[in-house]
Structure 1
Amino acid sequence: MSNPMPIVRRLSILPMILLLLTLGCAEQSEEQEKAEPHVRGMITDFELERGQVLIDNKEDGSVDSGPIWISLSKNAELIIEGKTVTASLDEILVGRSAEVWIGGVIAQSYPPQTQAVKMVIH
């Protein structure tokens, strides 16, 4: 008969591993909320077919880094004037300022294109 102690030891470690994974994910989520936006600037255009807005991206210090097309990822958070909304992007946003956090790649087209995981429109 095998010794049951190794199984008990393995099972007692499992809750500790789950706790550490949970804490790690929570810290990452908080860091992402505190992080500076990847894109910041004025919305200058809207493209209906792809549901994208064109943002004239300004880096820190108001340095112009060029326009970028932004669409919303599947589970993106869209906040307009402090309220989280479920609406999609549209032409009424042109002329407003936006801050965007991206979670994926930026297509090397001109202008570049990417998807937002969070967009705040002022």
Structure 2
Amino acid sequence: MVGFSASVSSSSSSWNSGTLVFPTVITNEGNGYNPSTGIFTAPVGGTYVFFVNVQSYERQYIYVDIMLNGSTKVRTMAYSYSSSLDYYDAGPNLVVLSIQKGDRVWIKRYSGSGYYNDGPMTTFSGFLIHM
């Protein structure tokens, strides 16, 4: 069995580059996810589902990509704005990928900045569905 779920540990109003690291591990069957780097390395080849949810930080927008070995596979975005109440938007997306043992999957910023976390809201998950 291979599957993981992880979340960010706090909100950030200024994150604006590179890999989004999800240091709070909820589950990590097969030990493919590295909470220090934010990268999942496939312990076995097969068909996987990967899911990301990013929650925008107040009055900001954020676009993130699910990356496979440096190639963008899907993108999502979240935009929050201020009215009489602050509005926080969620940006979910998922992708089904056929990958080989040792392939790497991670979440990378495309545009915008910041993310919000009030409990496990900004998350990254993946699981093997077929070998």
| Larger relative contact order, structure 1 or 2 (CA cutoff 8 Å, min sep 6) | 2
Larger Cα Rg: Structure 1 or Structure 2?
1
Q: TM-score, normalised by structure 2?
A: 0.28
Relative to its length, the structure with more strand (as a share) is: 2
Task: Looking at secondary structure, tell me which structure has more helix per residue.
Answer: 1
